[in-house]
Chain A
């Protein structure tokens, strides 16, 4: 080996790799998975297993037989997509829909654009929104936590706190009266509420985020921007009329805000590269989420908001360029 290899800088490899990051994300999702199994039992297990297996299988089949390239399933990204897709589904969703969702997420959301790193939209959310629009009835029946543990399709269902509050407020009832019908903030934080498999337990999601931050898999910018903008926006509304608008804490702890902000908005391929871009992107997600929740017809809007901002990512990257490696900040002239 006396060949001299000349390559452009940077020359130091940090030891980072797609594989390492993806397995890191998988590990970070374990607490949320555990919480989901604790609350929804059998259903959560079936849905998660089916979704992950289906996503990995579809990726393998498409790579191997349609694109005729070596299979990429070992990089872990298909498993992450499958897990996130499962986390975004109610745990009583029938198998057929999970498989359709996985096929859409991998086939349409990811492989159609060229596979890992090329997808403009978060694949798991593409699958989820496709299912939500196509099968609204099945996608909006939510099992009751703990009571639904032993059952899958026939689980006892109930409304989510978000829909209780949205319909209550629409009917003109004050927010303070509605809080009696939803779980306490502590229960919301621990995850004892109706909702998608992985989105309920705020505490577990926070643990996962902490792990990802320590391992430097993601930076704090997007999660903080999303959570912060939702808190500020709903806070202003709540202060202006505490009875007509739900409190910011309620908005943060319900629905998919934490799951979306921590795990889906931070998807590498579909989020901006620069720090300032990330903040702008996160704030956009927060604002659109609140707009949909309060003025839209759906009670929940995180997944739509993330997809909409995904579409803006190239634009954000065009105008807010990441700093080049070694570039000095421009000196302002007087």
Chain B
């Protein structure tokens, strides 16, 4: 085994060669994966936009503009148009009040601010509790909860069948306008049912929605970043 001696030139040269080879190959791989990575990111964004607004025929990503909320968050607004008519906007909103830090959501609003749908983009909430926000604030799909229920085990574990059925009891926020209802959890005197045992996460989520709503309806029309002349009808929420 002819091991190289640990002389200074040998050491420098070896490390130089290794780092050079490593750098070159990484550059090569980077070039190779650059496009797919960008495509994956775009696809993910597209997917999230598609989930929260009705069908559109423009390219929301290219017409995206940014708004600054009162708290200083930068929100991305993706206008969705059909036949040149603005039908909705997908807004990337954020709240810093989550249990584990930031909660990032994509919420679709009609031009008058009514919530169409939402998606959770990023969060660090507690698994099994805060993570329920993914579909907690949506109406329950009929029959989804019926499968594989066992009355004996439900009783043994204290699981109430009534739990998790939205819509009726004020859990769902879809189709509601934050200007008309109080978009805070019932514990804070609002109209929305908080996630069981995850009130903080619920607050953060509703905060993010409220930020999107107030920023969107106060500052702009749907088309561009231009300031709206008439004020949108709001009841509260500006300071939420």
Contact = CB atoms under 8 A, between A and B. Distances in A.
On whether A and B touch (CB less than 8 Å), the answer reads yes
Interface of A: 92-97, 135-138, 140, 153, 167, 171, 297
Given A171-B188, A297-B99, A137 B157 contact: no
B74 interface: no
B141 interface: no
Q: Which 5 A-B pairs have the closest CB atoms?
A: A96-B156, A94-B158, A136-B197, A138-B158, A96-B157
B110 to A, nearest CB: 31
Contact of A95 (B99, B156, B188, B200): B156
Contacts, number: 30
Given A94-B157, A95-B156, A297-B99, A140 B187 contact: no
B54 to A, nearest CB: 35
Given A96-B153, A136-B197, A153 B188 contact: no
Nearest to B188: A171
Nearest to B155: A94
Nearest to B196: A137
Interface of B: 99, 129, 153, 155-158, 163, 187-188, 196-197, 199-200
A153 B129 CA distance: 22
Contact of B187 (A92, A93, A153, A167): A167
A136 B156 contact: no
Nearest to A154: B160
Contacts of A95: 156
B155 A137 contact: no
Contacts of A297: 99, 200
Contacts of B188: 171
Contacts of B153: 96
A288 to B, nearest CB: 20
Contacts of B156: 94-96
Contacts of A135: 157-158
B187 A97 contact: no
B192 to A, nearest CB: 16
Contacts of B158: 92-94, 96-97, 135, 138, 153
A140 B197 CA distance: 8
A333 B196 CA distance: 64
A97 B200 contact: no
A153 B157 CA distance: 10
B197 A137 contact: yes
A138 B155 contact: no
20 contacts: A93-B158, A94-B155, A94-B156, A94-B157, A95-B156, A96-B153, A96-B157, A97-B157, A135-B157, A135-B158, A137-B196, A137-B197, A138-B158, A140-B197, A153-B155, A153-B158, A167-B187, A167-B199, A297-B99, A297-B200
B51 to A, nearest CB: 28
Nearest to A95: B156
A241 B116 CA distance: 45
Contacts of B196: 137
A69 to B, nearest CB: 31
Nearest to A93: B158
Contacts of A140: 197
B151 to A, nearest CB: 13
